[in-house]
Amino acid sequence: MDQLAIIIRRATERDQQAIRALVHSERLNPNGLHWQNFLVAVTGGSIIGAVQMRKHTDGSRELGSLVVTREARGHGIASRLIDALFAEERQPVWMITAEANAGTYARWGFRQIEARAAPVKVRRNHLMGSLVCILSFFMRRPVRRLVILERRPAGKTSRTSASDQPLPLAVSGLQSARS
Ligand SMILES: CC(C)(COP(=O)(O)OP(=O)(O)OC[C@H]1O[C@@H](n2cnc3c(N)ncnc32)[C@H](O)[C@@H]1OP(=O)(O)O)[C@@H](O)C(=O)NCCC(=O)NCCS
């Protein structure tokens, strides 16, 4: 995969269908896929990756819909998408991910929290995702326990954990580690 040919940019209305197809292909949360919230990774005119910052009505923000096409994985594209998403982000952000992958996101300052400490809209998505995981069990698909991660910009402490250390803002991800 030629890294130089991959561009990370804001999505446009014309990307809506490709974003939806990409997110659906990995059975990620199918709700709230508004192109306005997305960044996409593009090569040769095709979208090969996407991520969004969900803006919930309770004011919370959730990194979601992180996906890279199978052929393009392992080249730092997801890391570049997250780096770009956080380049100008100064608000607390939450995300929901499989417990087994939670440690990956520490490099962006995320840490695991109790579900009850998360904003209500994030908790709702976590609950819905967990229900889908239970259904997976009955459909004999791999079951992944989902956890909630929180990222607080430096100086902003969580309501529930006053001992939080200031967290780094966007740090370079795999892209720079592999270059
Ligand atoms: C997760 C995903 C986006 C990673 O894309 P990518 O471009 O290959 O990621 P990168 O090359 O930037 O690698 C970033 C790191 O994320 C890890 N990772 C995080 N979540 C992962 C997941 N769900 N599956 C596999 N690897 C994952 C990678 O192993 C890698 O770790 P490393 O630095 O220790 O090697 C891609 O595997 C994917 O689309 N998976 C299906 C959808 C999904 O699970 N999305 C995550 C929802 S939270």
Domains of the chain by start residue, with CATH: 3-178 (3.40.630.30)
Count CB-CB contacts under 10 A for residue 23.
21
Measured distance CA(93)–CA(152) in Å, rounded: 7
Mutate to test the pocket of ligand 1, among 67, 80, 105, 136 (most ligand atoms within 8 A of CB): 67
Q: Which long-range contacts (CB under 8 A, 24 or more apart) does 88-91 make?
A: 89/53, 89/61, 89/153, 89/169, 89/170, 90/153, 90/169, 91/61, 91/153
Which pLDDT score, from 0 to 100, does residue 169 have?
Answer: 36
Which pLDDT score, from 0 to 100, does residue 132 have?
Answer: 81
| Amino acid, single-letter form, for residue 8 | I
Which pLDDT score, from 0 to 100, does residue 146 have?
Answer: 95
Measured distance CA(79)–CA(19) in Å, rounded: 18
Overall residue count recorded for the chain in this entry: 179
Rounded to two decimals, the pTM is: 0.84
Q: Residues lining ligand 1, judged by CB closer than 6 Å?
A: 26, 66-68, 73-79, 97-98, 101, 104, 174
Residue 170 has pLDDT above 60, yes or no: no
Quick check: helix, strand or coil at residue 53?
strand
Contact 80, 8 (CB under 8 A): yes
**pLDDT by residue (tens digit) across 123-139?**
999 999 988 877 766 77
Residue 41 has pLDDT above 90, yes or no: yes
**Ligand 1 atom closest to Cα of residue 97:** 48
Measured distance CA(17)–CA(58) in Å, rounded: 27
φ, ψ at 97 (rounded to 5°)? -150, 170
